[in-house]
């Protein structure tokens, strides 16, 4: 399955957000108002959100690094004992520079930034990138998470091309979580998959993504997969860390040192 092109409109949730809605409409090339659409990118008190327009549709999806699940994980998530922390090589005195080349809603990147890593995020789908940009903007204005948001840099575009033309400091670790036909039963994941799969499809270019990451990363590449899914076609991982529903395939290149 590949991405399709659903009809999306921009709508302000109150009159005072009309000017901001107009700016996003111009930036994203989307129609404004109440025209025919399958989705609405809405602007209101809580920032930018994407809403499926159909009867019994789940609630909107937004990027929120300040409250909700992100806040709970930041406070009670297990710190550097989390499996993702071990996968990217976080240890006492070691906080690698990470490139999350498949950023999505930025959850994993936020966890790594919370733990002290400098994280660059790449998102190629313009609507998801807009939600991320809005979430980071709101986080940068919050006293509790501004310092974390400052460690996150959003890049927009095709991850393979951006990695092949990389400029600046080389990422020590590249993190990949390609879209996969997920079987995760959690309500949150199901809601988000229902919203985003029409836009992003499955990552059919995952082998090329892995190859580009292995070429660029100085120390290791980490790939998140559903626990029973096959490894990405191409180079074989050196080892894996397995959890209840997912696993991390690790492709080591060089030892991380403090």
CA–CA dist 159, 28 (Å, integer): 19
95 known member of a binding site: no
107 is in an annotated binding site: yes
Question: Does 203 carry a binding-site annotation?
Answer: no
> What residue has token string 């030892």?
255
Instruction: Yes or no: say if 65 and 135 are a contact pair by the CB < 8 Å rule.
Output: yes
Take residue 57 and report the two structure tokens written for it: 């549709």
* Token code pair at residue 10: 């921009």
Q: Are 103 and 124 in contact (CB under 8 A)?
A: no
- The verdict on whether residue 144 carries a ligand-binding annotation is no
C-alpha to C-alpha distance for 45 and 52, rounded to whole angstroms: 19
Annotated binding-site residue? 108: yes
Residues 6+ apart with CB under 8 A from 206: 176, 178, 232, 233
Residue keyed to tokens 């939600």? 131
- Binding site residues, as ranges? 107-108, 123-124, 177
- Binding site residues for S-adenosyl-L-methionine, as ranges? 107-108, 123-124, 177
């Amino acid at each position: 399955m590949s991405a399709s092109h659903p009809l999306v409109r921009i709508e302000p949730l109150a009159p005072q957000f009309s000017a901001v809605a107009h700016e996003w409409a111009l930036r994203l090339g989307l129609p404004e108002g109440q025209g025919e659409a399958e989705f609405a990118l809405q602007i209101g008190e809580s920032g930018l959100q994407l809403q499926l327009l159909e009867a019994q549709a789940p609630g909107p999806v937004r990027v929120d690094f300040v409250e909700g699940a992100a806040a709970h994980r930041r406070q009670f998530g297990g710190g550097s004992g989390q499996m993702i922390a071990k996968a990217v090589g976080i240890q006492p005195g070691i906080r690698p520079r990470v490139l999350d080349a498949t950023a999505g809603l930025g959850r994993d990147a936020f966890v790594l930034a919370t733990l002290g890593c400098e994280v660059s995020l790449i998102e190629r789908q313009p609507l998801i990138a807009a939600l991320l940009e809005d979430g980071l903007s709101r986080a940068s204005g919050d006293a509790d998470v501004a310092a974390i948001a400052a460690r996150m840099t959003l890049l927009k575009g095709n991850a393979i091309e951006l990695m092949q033309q990389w400029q600046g400091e080389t990422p020590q670790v590249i993190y990949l979580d390609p879209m996969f036909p997920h079987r995760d039963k959690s309500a949150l994941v199901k809601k988000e998959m229902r919203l985003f799969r029409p836009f992003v499809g499955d990552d059919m270019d995952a082998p090329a993504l892995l190859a580009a990451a292995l070429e660029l990363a100085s120390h290791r590449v980490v790939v998140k997969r559903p626990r029973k899914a096959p490894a990405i076609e191409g180079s074989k991982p050196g080892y894996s860390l397995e959890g209840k529903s997912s696993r991390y395939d690790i492709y080591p290149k060089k030892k991380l040192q403090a």
